[in-house]
Amino acid sequence: MEAVRLLLAYACLKGLRLHQMDAKSAFLNGFIDEEVYVSQPPGFEDHNPDYVFKLKKALYGLKQAPQQWYERLNNFLLSQGYERGKTDKTLFIKNSYNDIILVQVYVDDIIFGSTNESLCEQFVATTQGEFEMSMMGELNFFLGLQLKQVEHDIFLCQAKYCRELLKKFNVENCKKAFTPIATGCYLDADETGVDMDQTKFRQLIGSLLYLTASRPDIMFSVCLCPRFQAKPKESHYVAAKRILKYLKGTTEVGLWYPS
Partner 1 sequence: MDRKRTSGTCHLLGSSLISWHNKKQACVTLSRAEAKYIVARSCCAQTIWLKHQLSDFGLNLSKIPLLCDNTSAINLTKNPVQHSRTKHIEICHHFISDHIMNGDCKIQFVDSENQLADLFTKPLNKERFNFLKNELGIIDFKNVN
Q: Which of 58, 77, 119, 181 binds partner 1 (CB under 8 A)?
A: 181
Nearest to 71 by CA among 24, 104, 26: 26
Q: Is 157 in the site for partner 1 (CB under 8 A)?
A: yes
Q: Is 51 in the site for partner 1 (CB under 8 A)?
A: no
Q: Which of 10, 51, 53, 141 binds partner 1 (CB under 8 A)?
A: 10
Phi and psi, residue 11, nearest 5°: -60, -40
Options 7-15, 30-38, 55-63, 74-82: segment touching partner 1 (CB under 8 A): 7-15
Rounded Cα–Cα distance for residues 142 and 131 (Å)? 20
For residues 259 and 151, is the Cβ–Cβ distance under 8 A? yes
Which of 36, 238 has the CB closer to partner 1?
Answer: 238
Rounded Cα–Cα distance for residues 240 and 225 (Å)? 7
Options 63-71, 137-145, 173-181, 194-202: segment touching partner 1 (CB under 8 A): 173-181
Nearest to 198 by CA among 240, 245, 233: 233
Q: Which of 201, 221, 228, 232 binds partner 1 (CB under 8 A)?
A: 221
For residues 74 and 85, is the Cβ–Cβ distance under 8 A? no
Q: How many other CB atoms sit within 10 Å of the CB of residue 221?
A: 21
Sequence-distant (6+) residues with CB within 8 A of 28 are 57, 58, 59, 60
Q: Is 97 in the site for partner 1 (CB under 8 A)?
A: no
Residues touching partner 1, count (CB under 8 A): 49
How far apart are CB 119 and partner 1 at their closest, in Å?
A: 14
For residues 33 and 67, is the Cβ–Cβ distance under 8 A? no
For residues 250 and 213, is the Cβ–Cβ distance under 8 A? no
Q: Which of 8, 139, 165, 247 binds partner 1 (CB under 8 A)?
A: 8
Nearest to 121 by CA among 15, 19, 16, 23: 19
Phi and psi, residue 10, nearest 5°: -65, -40
Options 3-11, 50-58, 193-201, 203-211: segment touching partner 1 (CB under 8 A): 3-11
Q: Which of 22, 88, 130, 190 binds partner 1 (CB under 8 A)?
A: 88
How far apart are CB 126 and partner 1 at their closest, in Å?
A: 21
Q: Is 85 in the site for partner 1 (CB under 8 A)?
A: yes
Residues in contact with partner 1 by the rule CB under 8 A:
2-3, 5-10, 12-13, 85-88, 91, 93, 95, 100, 102, 148, 150, 153, 155, 157, 159, 178-179, 181-185, 188, 215-217, 219-221, 223, 227, 250, 252-258
